[in-house]
Amino acid sequence: MDFNLPEEITALRASFADFIDRSVRPLEDDIAVEFDSPAPDRDRIRQVMDEVRAMSVDAGFFAAHMPESVGGQDLSTLGMTVLVEDAARSGSRLAMTAVSPPNPAGPSSLLLKLPDHLLEQWVRPVVTGTKTACFALTEPEAGSDAQAIRTKAVKDGDGWRINGHKHYITNASHADFTVVFAVTDSEKRAAGGITAFLVPADQFRRGPTQWNISDTHPGELFFEDSWVPDDHVIGEVGLGFFAAMEFLNAGRAFIGAQALGLAEFSLDAALSHVQTRTAFGKPLAAFQGASFPLAQSKVEIEAMRWLVYHLAWAVDEGQNPMLDASIVKYYSTEQAYAVADRCLQVFGGMGLMKSGPIERVLRHLRMLRVVEGASEIQLLVISRALTAR
């Protein structure tokens, strides 16, 4: 066993830190007032995010985990995991835009199941940041129980006709295309009856934005006699549910890395605060009531780190580590939330202010405990794996 990160990943990490400091932070300073405003200029924020994405594509970071054949850098999952961690740890609200995962607007290996001519048309532009995507599985009547989706696709000529309604879809408002999951055999459902399709934006209607406690605002999508040709099936007809689960499992190292980075950022901020803020004539750090929760947080962060790195390593080894992926999703999002909550506490009132460092982190982590398989669903997967032995 070698617990050291490979040298090339350590070097990449250093150049990514430099990129954040030199290219991202100045833009962040320019736009900070918008982020903290009760009525932010969302167009301006999006414009700056697009700028960061374009700079990151040029610097070779954005979708580095994708194959070179579609414009990526063939970076390992471990390499990308560390970049996601560092983006989150930086505390920059724009830095997460500089790396495509775990955002479903960016490219994923799921799209590589498309035929070659569509890779050029749809996948390369997402890798190079000129187009964005979305991943449309959830419906009003089917969230955790995803195999219960009602969206249907029926064969029509040399293509498929799709009808249905999706909600809570990240980047629904701007995506150039969606990956949509539809029932193609209502008897088989998850066991061979759900298919994934690439649907261009001119074939669906967007519903209203769904504002929520996080800063990522999903939306609704309506498929009303949408039609796509046969070659827009992603992978094989009937195997879409497996593809969705594969996509979610592969992405869990990145969600874990994001949670880990946000927990590290919270602890970094809390540590400097308790050393400078005084109460009862002493720095807060002198009181065990303030320092012990931070020590506990450090322990949990180290446990999180090794679970996350191990999962990334297992994915790079070609394994499909479903159990490890669920353990990482569950532990990292739950513990990172607990860490951020403790760190918020040592900030007192400032912890609750939008202008303070932790408030937005806590809101984001609260969201991560629900999306892409809520914590209870991860426990369900873990308990099934245990009792099946």
Ligand X SMILES: Cc1cc2nc3c(=O)[nH]c(=O)nc-3n(C[C@H](O)[C@H](O)[C@H](O)COP(=O)(O)OP(=O)(O)OC[C@H]3O[C@@H](n4cnc5c(N)ncnc54)[C@H](O)[C@@H]3O)c2cc1C
Catalytic (active-site) positions: 372
Question: Using the rule CB under 6 A, is 17 a contact of ligand X?
Answer: no
Question: Hey, which residues between 141 and 160 contact ligand X (CB under 6 A)?
Answer: 143-144
Q: How far is the CB of 148 from ligand X (least distance, A)?
A: 9
Q: Within 13 A of 279's CA, how many CA atoms are on the CB side?
A: 11
Question: Hey, which residues between 328 and 357 contact ligand X (CB under 6 A)?
Answer: none
Q: How far is the CB of 217 from ligand X (least distance, A)?
A: 7
From 216, 230, 203, 236, select the one nearest 168 (Cα to Cα): 216
Question: Using the rule CB under 6 A, is 377 a contact of ligand X?
Answer: yes
Q: How far is the CB of 273 from ligand X (least distance, A)?
A: 29
CB-nearer residue toward ligand X: 299 or 379? 379
Question: Using the rule CB under 6 A, is 367 a contact of ligand X?
Answer: yes
Dihedral class, residue 164 (left if φ above 0, else alpha if ψ from -120 to 50, else beta) = left
Position 19, amino acid: F
Q: For residues 71, 76, 77 and 83, what is the CA-based torsion angle, rounded to 10 degrees?
A: -80
Q: For residues 325 and 294, give the distance between their C-alpha atoms in angstroms, rounded to a whole number.
A: 27
Instruction: Compose the 77-116 pattern: x for residues touching ligand X by CB under 6 A, - for all others.
Output: ---------------------------x------------
Q: For residues 127 and 62, give the distance between their C-alpha atoms in angstroms, rounded to a whole number.
A: 8
CB-nearer residue toward ligand X: 314 or 368? 368
Q: How far is the CB of 90 from ligand X (least distance, A)?
A: 22
Residue 137, beta-bridge partner list: none
Among 20, 137, 260, 340, binds ligand X (CB under 6 A): 137
Total residues interacting with ligand X, rule: CB under 6 A: 24
- Rounded to the nearest angstrom, the gap between the alpha carbon of residue 118 and the centroid of all alpha carbons in its chain is 24
Q: For residues 147 and 191, give the distance between their C-alpha atoms in angstroms, rounded to a whole number.
A: 9
> Do residues 123 and 70 make contact, with C-beta atoms less than 8 angstroms apart?
yes
Q: How far is the CB of 243 from ligand X (least distance, A)?
A: 13
Residue 198, beta-bridge partner list: 179
CB-nearer residue toward ligand X: 166 or 305? 166
Question: Using the rule CB under 6 A, is 358 a contact of ligand X?
Answer: no
Instruction: Compose the 165-204 pattern: x for residues touching ligand X by CB under 6 A, - for all others.
Output: ---xxx----------------------------------
> Do residues 151 and 165 make contact, with C-beta atoms less than 8 angstroms apart?
yes
CB-nearer residue toward ligand X: 23 or 216? 216
Q: How far is the CB of 229 from ligand X (least distance, A)?
A: 23
Q: For residues 14 and 8, give the distance between their C-alpha atoms in angstroms, rounded to a whole number.
A: 10
Q: Which range in 298-306, 314-322, 324-332, 370-378 contacts ligand X by CB under 6 A?
A: 370-378
Question: Using the rule CB under 6 A, is 135 a contact of ligand X?
Answer: yes
Residue 233, beta-bridge partner list: 197
Closest residue to bound ligand X by CB:
143
127-131 contacts: CB < 8 A, separation 24 or more?
127/57, 127/62, 127/63, 127/66, 127/70, 127/71, 127/72, 127/100, 128/57, 128/63, 128/71, 129/50, 129/53, 129/54, 129/56, 129/57, 129/62, 129/63, 131/176, 131/177
> Do residues 204 and 178 make contact, with C-beta atoms less than 8 angstroms apart?
yes
Among 48, 64, 126, 136, binds ligand X (CB under 6 A): 136
CB-nearer residue toward ligand X: 59 or 370? 370
CB-nearer residue toward ligand X: 90 or 170? 170
Question: Using the rule CB under 6 A, is 138 a contact of ligand X?
Answer: yes
Instruction: Compose the 201-240 pattern: x for residues touching ligand X by CB under 6 A, - for all others.
Output: -----------x-x-x-x----------------------
CB-nearer residue toward ligand X: 169 or 199? 169
Residues that bind ligand X (CB under 6 A): 104, 134-138, 143-144, 168-170, 212, 214, 216, 218, 367, 370-374, 376-377, 380
